[in-house]
Amino acid sequence: MKNYLLPIFVLLIVGCGNHRPQQTYDEMLNDIVQNFNRGTTDGDSVLNAFVRKTQVDSVARQYSNPAMKEEMMLNLISDYLSAGQVDNAQHLYDNMLEYAEQEYGKVSQMTAMTYFEKAHLYERVGDLDNAIKMMQGV
C-alpha cells in the first residue's frame, strides 16, 4: 500500500467513529412529544392533532433528515399559537433554545433564530422588556 494513502484511511476511520445515527421520522416525532413538549399544559388537543397530522405525512417520512425535527418543533409552536396557547409556545421555545445550544452551541443560526422567534412572541403579547432581552441573547 502506498504510504500517502495511510493518513487518508486513518481520517476516514476516525470520521466514521464520530457519526451519530440519524433518527427515523417516528423517532423524531416521539422525541418532540416526549422531550420538547416539557412544561406545556392544556395542550392535549393541539398536541394530538399535531401528532395525527404529522403521522400521515408520508412524503416527509420517506425523506426524513435532521432539519426535519426542527421544522416539526416550529410547526407545533405554530399550532399552539393558532390555538391561543401562548404559554405553551413559550415553553416550547425555551425547550428549543436548550436543544439548539446543546446541538449547535450558543453561536449558531438555529440558536439565533430561536431567540428571534421568542422575542417576536414576547413583542406580540406586549412584553417588550423580555423581547429586548431575547434580542440581546440574554
Give the type of residue at 104.
Y
Q: Residues 98-114: what's their mean pLDDT?
A: 84
Q: What is the DSSP string of 52-109?
A: HHHHT-HHHHHT--HHHHHHHHHHHHHHHHHTT-HHHHHHHHHHHHHHHHHHH-SSSH
SS3 label, residue 1:
coil
If you search the block for the grid coordinates 417588550, which residue do you land on?
128
Q: What is the pLDDT of residue 114?
A: 83
Confidence (pTM): 0.64
Give CA–CA dist 103/80, Å, rounded. Answer: 24
* Per-residue pLDDT tens over the stretch 25-75: 778 888 888 877 777 877 778 888 888 888 776 666 666 676 788 888 888
Q: What percent of the chain lies above the pLDDT cut of 70?
A: 77
Give CA–CA dist 50/48, Å, rounded. Answer: 5
